[in-house]
Amino acid sequence: MARATRPIPELYEAARAGERRALGRLLTKVERGGAEADQISELAHPDAGNAHIVGITGAPGAGKSTLVSRLVTDLVAAGRRPAVLAVDPSSPLTGGAILGDRIRIDEGNDPGEGRRSFIRSMATRGHSGGLALAVPLAVRLFDAVGYDPVIIETVGVGQVEVDVVGAADTAVVVMTPGMGDAVQANKAGLLEVADLFVVNKADRPGADDVRRDLSLMLDLSHMTGQESDTGYRPPIVMASALNGDGHGDVWTAVDAHLAHLDDTDTRSARRRHRIRTEVRARLLQAMSDAADHEMSSPSGTEWLSKAERAEIAPTHATDQLLEQLLQPTEETS
Amino acid sequence: MTAPTSSDSGRPDNPEYAAWRERYDEANLRDKPFETMSGVPVEPIYGDGPYPGEYPYTRGVYPTMYRSRLWTMRMFAGFGTAEDTNARFKDILRNGGTGLSTAFDMPTLMGRDSDSPWALGEVGHCGVAVDTLADMRDLFADIDLSAVSTSMTINGPAAVILAMYIAVAEENGVTPDQLAGTIQADIFKEYQAQKEYIYPPRPSVRIITDMIRYTTAEMPRWHPLSISGYHIREAGSTAAQELAFTLANGFAYVEAATAAGVDVDEFAGRLSFFFNSHSDFFEEIGKFRAARRIWARWMKERYGAKAERSMLCRFHTQTAGVSLTAQQPEINIARVAIQALAGALGGTQSLHTDSYDEALALPTEKAARIALRTQQIVAHETGAADVIDPLGGAPYVEWMTDEMERQAEAIFAHLDDIGNGSILEGVYAGIDNGYFVGEIADAAYRFEREVNAGHRIIVGVNDFTDGDDGEQHILRIGPEAEEYQRKRLADVKQARDDAAVAASLAAVTTAAEDPEANLMPPIIEAVKTYATLEEVVMAMEKVFGTYVEKAVL
Amino acid sequence: MSQDGQIRIILAKLGLDGHDRGIKVVARILRDAGMEVIYLGLRQTTDSIIAAAEQEDADAIGLSMHNASHMTLAPAMVKAVAEAELDTPVIVGGIIPDEDLQPLRDAGVAVVLGPGASAEEVAQAVRDAVASV
């Protein structure tokens, strides 16, 4: 690449000093993973830990982007520096993606003020494992260079997306009338992770039905472990992002949830959970990489082809590969 | 099916035919022999009823169609300053024309003044720039507005432009009830296809219903709405989508206006439509025929229209700009001819034929003349205008008409469903959830992929590419119009009474806040103080907000 | 471009021109060619495009122009990129007469795609423009 490259520490300092271009470049490296991403993680670690991390998810068409746009506008007006990480699925076939969320989110930016907000689109790039690694790192980077809150927006469809949002300090689940959302969300496991529900497009017929369904589901105590532990019951906020009703209430409820975490001393528990999730994801990724590596090693290929020729059982080949994997030799290092 | 006969004496027992024949015989016909080039006399119509001018009007909205009057050859063009366009208008009137078509430049269409940063490089390019009443006065200087019919192609800021037109007329002693013409004002297709919107859909429809209420009460000769599928098709829709989205938009306006208390028969007769004529000849003809049948049935059965005029789908047609190729541009003349013939055989009331060089830029004078000559050949040399609905009764054409109708009805059913029994709500929902833009983008992409894969041949583009001499004659608009217009606007702003402007704009905002108020009177007052187009637009935007499209790809 | 070959391109309509059929088709073509398309849509300014290019670390900026305003707006975009100290190539597609091709290139536009470019040509032009930086 002929493209001008600066060393990572230099980029990091520039990003800390407010250079958006440098932060943009660092986020690309974070997304790419590998040694450079690890280096950024190490650099950001001491400076991070201040931002309120908010996950927002919901079915496609629930109006998340419009809601986020409203929230960003309000946060900028209130003097905050919000960052948004908008995660969109990639095509599993080509790895390509169309990231269109900026259209609405960018409304919140104020060009006159040197843009206090920062919005970054991230594609899942076909492998959800990469997302589980890249998102926590990107969030740490935003946090370290001074953005607060950091909002992660995902389409609540896959397990990883749900996990990512569930690992936030405050997880917001957005629903709309007439889409059978409550049932879908229940299936996807979103109800368990939600700290706050937003019924968007609340001016539509059926909004009250959604509220009632949610209420009913929350009444079943097994839906939320929190309620038994700390007495916290996720509130349901009615909003219409399009005409601007209720988004103030949404952020009030998000703040209230943060206060609740602080009051009950559970924010650190969230953080511990988040770190555990991240470490586990990285371990799984490392093991997966090691497994791929092992399978393509000379002896791995040999065991594999024996299994393929049905000379040995697949279980036998696996045992052999696992043995090599677990005892470090020159071959796997 | 009755066999065609050489005279009506063969069908004396058919009361349907007799009833139509009576209306036909009473009508004035063009003074020419209706016979073939070789001298064979031809009947006004062949085949079965329902006959033209009879419900559901599949075969034509009038009993005599082109035997009485050819379609209007309406050529829409324009650029530069109001004075340039005024000179062209006078030229048209001197040559016996009575219809003036006004094209506005992009800033005007978007409700922006010529001095807006958004207007940079766009002033006077694709039409005339109108910032204030002064420009509208220049545009129609020395023209008797009570004696012409003016068509204005503008949507988002239509109410402000109409107000300026009314104000200029008043200065010349012409009252609103004497004004004849059409303003496009079709905002739904802006969200669906053309993307020249300002406010969100609901306040935009409120402005349109205010215009309908105002014109219904004050301007009986005015057509307050031209419901346009043209741009939907240009954006990449299929023929059936163009048909269905356009008519659904029409139903939605009818629901909005009746909900605002206007009786359907008081305004529906003044609605008109605007369709695209593309290259698939029989599909287009089927589409036009289906449009008439569907509109008539829905107006009668669903909306309870009683007046015949309310049921007539009268439409303007323009050949498909999107079909014009930049490669070997001369061959576009053949495309336009075929599309124009489809429009005529489909029973259009007026027709604009595109110039062959329009794929690249504004048409040159020569190309525009060839385009007009093309439809004159269709009208006068082909015999297509001598027999009404000459393809009616042909199995393929009847099947295609039915098929277009079937596809359209499926789309209406979907909109009715997502609108909980209201097409208006269905159209709102379809705009909000990206249904329309998504369907159009899917269709456009499918077409492009077929062309790209060679499954669909576009002559000169992906096959038969020899012969492109690369010669292009491009008409360019210099920066002079932009400079002139900015200075003109500065002078008008300098000379006006700022306090009066501010007060009149405040009145517009107040009216916007009151859903019961009609916006037209305060807008008319505001433009009289020389409040600019953008100022009036912004006075409403304070209340209505802006619209930002959701990305649907 | 990132080392994994994943190209991130911004697609936008600059100014008032609302013709978005072409840019939406191009967005899909590039997605199907494996790129990440950051679609900004209609009514963008050079400022809003630069802001997005910085935040998204875009490898290229693609503009679609159908309004004869390309001779004003495309050079303005190139200038804005330079002023923001970015090296992002600007690619222009749409209704561009042949005689404007060279002036646009002279003004710093990396690639000009005329009407009728095939899907492969569009994707390859983007790859070439990105690789040339």
Instruction: Please write the tens of the pLDDT for every residue from A265-283.
Output: 888 888 898 899 889 988 9
Residues in A lying within 8 Å of C, measured between beta carbons = 1-4, 20-21, 23-25, 27-28, 31-32, 90-91, 94-100, 102-103, 106, 109, 111, 115, 118-121, 123, 125
Residue B550 sits at the chain A interface (C-beta within 8 Å): yes
User: What chains are in contact with C, requiring at least 3 Cβ pairs below 8 Å?
Assistant: A, B
Gyration radius of chain C's alpha carbons: 13
Q: What is the chain C residue with the closest CA to A4?
A: C87
**pLDDT attached to residue A333:** 41
Q: What is the chain C residue with the closest CA to B477?
A: C68
pLDDT (tens digit, 9 = 90+) per residue, A5-55? 899 999 999 999 999 999 999 999 999 888 999 999 999 999 999 999 999
ipTM: 0.93
> Could you tell me which CATH number the domain at A49-264 has?
3.40.50.300
Task: For residues B217 and B150, give the distance between their C-alpha atoms in angstroms, rounded to a whole number.
Answer: 19
Task: For residues B427 and B423, give the distance between their C-alpha atoms in angstroms, rounded to a whole number.
Answer: 6
Q: Which CATH superfamily is domain B72-452 in?
A: Methylmalonyl-CoA mutase (3.20.20.240)
At B454, phi and psi to the nearest 5?
Answer: 80, 5
**pLDDT attached to residue A112:** 46
Decide: C13 and C44 in contact? Cβ < 8 Å: yes
Number of residues assigned to chain A: 333
pLDDT (tens digit, 9 = 90+) per residue, B282-302? 999 999 999 999 999 999 999
Assign B167 to helix, strand or coil. helix
Decide: B405 and B390 in contact? Cβ < 8 Å: no
Task: For residues A142 and A119, give the distance between their C-alpha atoms in angstroms, rounded to a whole number.
Answer: 10
pLDDT (tens digit, 9 = 90+) per residue, B480-511? 888 999 999 999 999 999 999 999 999 999 99
Tell me which residue in B200, B420, B550 faces A103 most closely, judged by beta carbons.
B550
Q: How far does the CA of residue B107 sit from the closest CA of chain C (Å)?
A: 7
pLDDT bin (cut points 50, 70, 90) of residue A96 is confident
Sheet architecture: strand order including B149-153? B99-103, B149-153, B180-183, B222-223
**How far is C-alpha A312 from the geometric centre of its chain's CA atoms?**
42
pLDDT at A156 over 70: no
B106-115 average pLDDT score = 96
**In terms of Cα–Cα distance, which of C79, C20, C17, C15 is closest to C50?**
C79
**pLDDT attached to residue C86:** 94
Q: Which two structure tokens, joined as six digits, stand for A39?
A: 């280096």
pLDDT bin (cut points 50, 70, 90) of residue A243 is low
Question: B322 to chain C: which residues are within 8 Å by CB?
Answer: 21
Task: For residues B361 and B475, give the distance between their C-alpha atoms in angstroms, rounded to a whole number.
Answer: 7
Tell me which residue in C32, C34, C38 faces A99 most closely, judged by beta carbons.
C38
* Least confident range of A187-191, A260-264, B221-225, B547-551: A187-191
CA distances from A210 to A64, A182, A195, A303 (A): 16, 7, 17, 55
Task: For residues B80 and B488, give the distance between their C-alpha atoms in angstroms, rounded to a whole number.
Answer: 13
pLDDT bin (cut points 50, 70, 90) of residue A215 is confident
Helix (H) or strand (E) segment spanning residue C34: none
- DSSP structure class, residue C115: T
| Dihedral over alpha carbons A156, A159, A162, A163 (to 10 degrees) | -160
pLDDT at A321 over 80: yes
pLDDT (tens digit, 9 = 90+) per residue, B176-191? 999 999 999 999 999 9
**pLDDT attached to residue B6:** 46
pTM (2 decimals)? 0.89
Residue C6 sits at the chain A interface (C-beta within 8 Å): yes
Domain ranges of chain C: 8-131
Q: To probe the interface with A, which of B204, B548, B549 has the most A CB atoms within 10 Å?
A: B548
Task: For residues A125 and C34, give the distance between their C-alpha atoms in angstroms, rounded to a whole number.
Answer: 10
Tell me which residue in C2, C48, C54 faces A32 most closely, judged by beta carbons.
C2
Which residue positions in chain C have pLDDT lower than 70? Answer: 1-4
**pLDDT attached to residue C58:** 97
A200-220 average pLDDT score = 83
pLDDT bin (cut points 50, 70, 90) of residue A131 is confident
Task: For residues C19 and C1, give the distance between their C-alpha atoms in angstroms, rounded to a whole number.
Answer: 29
A1/C30 touch (CB, cutoff 8 Å), yes or no: no
Among the four given CATH numbers 3.90.110.10, 3.40.50.280, 1.20.1560.10, 3.90.550.10, the one describing domain C8-131: 3.40.50.280
User: What chains are in contact with B, requiring at least 3 Cβ pairs below 8 Å?
Assistant: A, C
Sheet architecture: strand order including C36-44? A97-99, C36-44, C8-14, C60-65, C90-94, C111-113
pLDDT bin (cut points 50, 70, 90) of residue B46 is very high
* Least confident range of A24-28, B58-62, B361-365, B506-510: B361-365
Helices of type H across A127-230: 128-144, 159-166, 181-188, 190-193, 207-219, 225-230
Q: How far does the CA of residue B158 sit from the closest CA of chain A (Å)?
A: 24
Domain ranges of chain B: 72-452, 480-544
Q: How far does the CA of residue C131 sit from the closest CA of chain B (Å)?
A: 25
pLDDT (tens digit, 9 = 90+) per residue, B406-433? 999 999 999 999 999 999 999 999 998 8
The average confidence (pLDDT) of chain B is 93
C119/B445 touch (CB, cutoff 8 Å), yes or no: no
Decide: B133 and B495 in contact? Cβ < 8 Å: no
- What lies within 8 Å, CB to CB, of C119 at 6+ separation is B448, B449, B452, C29, C32, C33
User: What chains are in contact with A, requiring at least 3 Cβ pairs below 8 Å?
Assistant: B, C
Tell me which residue in A61, A100, A104 faces B553 most closely, judged by beta carbons.
A100
